[in-house]
Amino acid sequence: MPWIGTSSTGQFACVNASQRTLKALRIKRKGQPVFVLGHVLERKGQEATFEAFNDRLAVVKFSDECLVGYDPSELLLPTDIDEHGIPYFEIRSCQSCAMLFPLTMEECESDKEPERCSDCIG
Ligand SMILES: [Zn+2]
């Protein structure tokens, strides 16, 4: 899957060591799958797709067509996207700060998953 994580080919991005949220993406494509954290409790933990920027908020669309604006750092990238475009999210809770963070494919497949988010490790 050489296209995973590259933005130049028009595909959507997945998590890697330096990009775990929408904020880290240089090119944010409409339709990019994301996992929503953030302030709207009934939406927390749901999957959505990125639509557009409205001021500094990233507007995402949920499966019920509802549009909500988020800080792009509250939108987690998928661990993997399969050949049918279905995103998979492996989300863990940091044992230091309790923030949710997504795993990379490599972390997922390794024997020892990280227990802390990159902010706490870093
Ligand atoms: Zn942490």
Q: What is the CATH number of the domain that holds 40?
A: 2.30.30
- Comparing CA positions, the residue from 29, 39, 40 lying closest to residue 6 is 29
Q: In this predicted structure, what is the pLDDT of residue 2? A: 40
**Rounded alpha-carbon distances, angstroms, from residue 42 to 39, 93, 103, 115:** 9, 18, 23, 26
Is residue 109, in this structure, part of any structural domain at all? no
Distance 47 CA to ligand 1 centre (A): 21
Is residue 110, in this structure, part of any structural domain at all? no
Half-sphere exposure of 36 (CA within 13 A, CB side): 22
pTM of the model: 0.88
Question: pLDDT-based confidence at 3, cuts 50/70/90?
Answer: very low
Domain range for residue 28?
22-91
Percentage of the chain modeled with pLDDT above 90: 75
Is residue 97, in this structure, part of any structural domain at all? no
Please tell me the distance from the alpha carbon of residue 11 to that of residue 78, in angstroms, as a whole number: 13
Pairing of strands 80-81, 87-88: antiparallel
Distance 90 CA to ligand 1 centre (A): 16
Distance 97 CA to ligand 1 centre (A): 4
- Contact between residue 60 and residue 50 where contact means Cβ atoms under 8 Å apart: yes
Is residue 4, in this structure, part of any structural domain at all? no
Distance 96 CA to ligand 1 centre (A): 5
∠45-51-52 over CA atoms, to 5°? 120
- Taking only the tens place, the pLDDT of each residue in 11-65 is 899 999 999 999 999 889 999 999 999 888 999 999 999 999 988 899 999 999 9
Is residue 51, in this structure, part of any structural domain at all? yes
Is residue 27, in this structure, part of any structural domain at all? yes
Q: How many domains is the chain partitioned into structurally?
A: 1
